Amino acid sequence: MITAGCLAVVIGLTSFGGGVAVAAGGGLAPPAVDPKTVHAPTAVPDRVILTPTATPTTSQSVTWRTSDAVTTPRVEWALSGPSTPSGAQSVDAASTVRYDADLGYQVAHHTATIAGLTADTTYIYRVGDGETWGEWLEFTTASDTPGNFSFLVQGDAQNDNKAYTSRTFRAAFEARPYARAVVHAGDLIDTDNSDAEWGEWHEAAAFSNQYLNVLAATGNHEYWPSAVLSRNWRAQFEYPLNGPASQPTLSETVYYVDYQGVRFITLDSTQAGVAAARDAQTAWLDGVLADNPNQWTVVTFHHPMYSVTSGRDNAVLRNAWQPLFEKYDVDLVVQGHDHAYGRGNLVANEQNLPGGADPATSHTGPVYLVSVAGPKMYIPDPAGANNWTANGANLRVVGRDVQLFQTVDVTSDGRMHVEARTVDGALFDAFTIKKDAAGAKLVTTDDTAWTGGPGSTRDGVAAPGTPDPEPTPEPTPTPTSTPEPTATPEPTSTPEPTATPEPTSTPEPTATPEPTSTPEPTSTPEPTSTPEPTSTPEPTTVPTPTSQPTTTPTPAPTPGSGGTATAMMIGDSVVAPGGSLSVSGTGFTPGERVAIELHSAPVTLALSTADASGAIAAEVTIPAGTEPGEHTIVLTGLDSGRTASAAITVTQASTGAAATLPATGAALPVSLMVLGGALAIGGGVIVSRSVLRNRKAS
């Protein structure tokens, strides 16, 4: 028998002839504490969230949750200042949505819009009922001047948000603490009406939702399993009612917001599975792109134009929307769904580049970006045989088993700089979109990370580390004849007369009767070019006393070159299930992520970042359910494709009480394959699985 909490199966019901996946399954594992106890509402406001209005320079919407006992919900606000607020104003909530949550209590979501604000001004606000109030929070209205702000981008969150996705959300907020908005590409949660899952999503984002405008797109999981939009969506997100008027179901899932020179457009790719909703969005999109006064355009939806993983192909969506993205030269297309990273462009946009730009690093036209914020991961399709290359697109950067967030800096001098960083802060990918005064655009891969952007500081303090549009040599490091006079090998006339009766070319000659060009020759009567020759009779340029020294170190691999890494070592070749093992390897690209996997059925044990010499070292744990016998530890550079492997033997688990626990690991894929075959025979339903490092399937 398969018991709850031991197995969850993702059933992908597809439409569009194998295109957009419109349903899937999963959910939270049985918690230690009753979710009703954790998430039950009270009169104290929770799940506070900011959403933009159609006029973000002068107004701001805010939504929050309480118990249904609250009858006078309202918001107070005042100008931000150096001390406690004074002269606060208030407005009653404009709407309240009440319903019975799936955990057996009634909730109330309240929405208020603050109007009559001043552009580019920071305010403090709090929500409550006149007696019970939340804490004071902040927001800043949009400026009338285009550019000079930052926003964040998050791919799918979906599973285990409080445990894992919270790190991604917080790392993004740390990277740009004064960003103005965050864009979500759908699948915020796994089960549409699960109040516990929505509660964990809000907890994961914490107060960043209360400081940044949240621009969210729906994913297929906001419609699963009910096949209608989660009742939480419109209750907690207040979006402009400027979507397709002919389709009421698209209200607040299809909308646009103009913010400081950027038009943010949000589409509903799940509802696009219905022809009428797809056609309505396509016609609306055409109009919104044609009549766009902004310098920049960012479009967000869930199912990618070009899929990265699982052999997917959203052809119907691509045929409907991608020509419009190219026609109107959209700048950034943000998507999710594939639980991997992908960034690329049409191959056609690598032709006729301006100013001799290199097609290997540059292109024109839209950037298509797929990302993932949560812990569930899929395996990307192979290079050269994927949905991108099959449709005339170039998948420039791909990432597997990485939780990512994106920072986007919009400058006032015609640049949009995008960085994708892993949850631990490492730079994974970066590119800059530049536009000149005439609107001519060039997208260039940018390996130089920005240490700051417009969203790094506020109140007139310059943000750190923003590079110049066209870097020029800085005069300060220019070499001179005497950059550091104190260390000049030709001393002045009297460098240290008291200690040197007869000055020579060496400043401190007291220990050397006959000074040479070597500053510390005391241990070497006849100095050579090797400072420590004692252990090598015939010194070479490699100081380490190896048996066969060489003068040329092994070169770091070129990204994408493939091949085998230089060397790999393991601490022990025999290990018990649940035991730890030290693993090290060399020969990878400096700075690349290296996957450490247990084979034959691949299980990712860890991800490690190669140091400046291309080496990695990590301590990994063999899963407790691993079958005894021969296995292989495999290292794979996610950029270079270089690999190394070593054989290990997993011993029998210890006997006793622990031995009676149900087996995991190898037994799980067999169960999934049997179940998948039964489902496929019964109705042609595609069954897929994703085993996470925490062994939670969804």
Please say whether the beta carbons of 107 and 195 come within 8 A.
yes
Give a yes or no: residue 444 inside a domain: yes
CATH number (domain holding residue 650): 2.60.40.1930
Give a yes or no: residue 555 inside a domain: no
Residues 409 and 333 reside in one and the same domain:
yes
Give a yes or no: residue 401 inside a domain: yes
Residues 258 and 195 reside in one and the same domain:
yes
User: Which residue carries 């639980």 as its tokens?
Assistant: 339
Residue, of 505 and 188, whose pLDDT is higher: 188
User: What confidence score (pLDDT) does residue 544 get?
Assistant: 40
DSSP result, 42-68: -SS-EEEEEE--S-TTT-EEEEEEEET
Residues 583 and 660 reside in one and the same domain:
yes
H or E element at residue 672: helix 667-683
Q: Of 432, 456, 480, which residue is a domain's last? A: 456
What b-and-e string marks burial along 299-335, b requiring 16 or more CB atoms within 10 Å of the CB? bbbbbbbbbbbbebbbbbbbebbbebbeebebbbbbb
User: What confidence score (pLDDT) does residue 367 get?
Assistant: 98
Residue, of 503 and 175, whose pLDDT is higher: 175
Residues 393 and 247 reside in one and the same domain:
yes
Residues 247 and 301 reside in one and the same domain:
yes
pLDDT for 554 beyond 50 = no
pLDDT for 60 beyond 80 = yes
DSSP-derived 3-state class of residue 350: helix
Closest CA to 194 of 218, 167, 225: 225
pLDDT digits (tens, 9 = 90+) for 471-488: 543 434 434 444 444 444
Closest CA to 614 of 593, 576, 645, 586: 586
Give a yes or no: residue 74 inside a domain: yes
**Which residue range is the domain that position 654 belongs to?**
567-665
Give a yes or no: residue 490 inside a domain: no
Residues 179 and 161 reside in one and the same domain:
yes
Using alpha carbons only, give the angle 285, 52, 336 rounded to the nearest 5 degrees. Answer: 55
pLDDT for 137 beyond 60 = yes
Residues 96 and 243 reside in one and the same domain:
no
Q: What percent of the chain is modeled with pLDDT above 90?
A: 62
Q: What residue type is assigned to position 331 of the chain? A: D
Residues 66 and 164 reside in one and the same domain:
no
CATH number (domain holding residue 86): 2.60.40.380
User: What confidence score (pLDDT) does residue 621 get?
Assistant: 83
Q: Of 140, 168, 191, which residue is a domain's last? A: 140
Question: What's the rounded Cα separation, in Å, for the pair 202 and 503?
Answer: 73
Residues 277 and 357 reside in one and the same domain:
yes
pLDDT digits (tens, 9 = 90+) for 400-444: 999 999 999 999 999 999 999 999 999 999 999 999 988 899 999
Confidence of residue 463 (pLDDT cuts 50, 70, 90): confident
Residues 163 and 106 reside in one and the same domain:
no
Main-chain phi, psi angles of 416, to 5 degrees: -125, 110
pLDDT digits (tens, 9 = 90+) for 382-397: 998 999 999 999 999 9
Main-chain phi, psi angles of 597, to 5 degrees: -125, 150
Give a yes or no: residue 283 inside a domain: yes
Residues 319 and 416 reside in one and the same domain:
yes
User: What confidence score (pLDDT) does residue 601 get?
Assistant: 66
Helix 166-175 × helix 195-205 angle, to 10°: 30
Number of domains in the chain: 3
User: What confidence score (pLDDT) does residue 470 get?
Assistant: 61
Confidence of residue 325 (pLDDT cuts 50, 70, 90): very high
Residues 208 and 83 reside in one and the same domain:
no
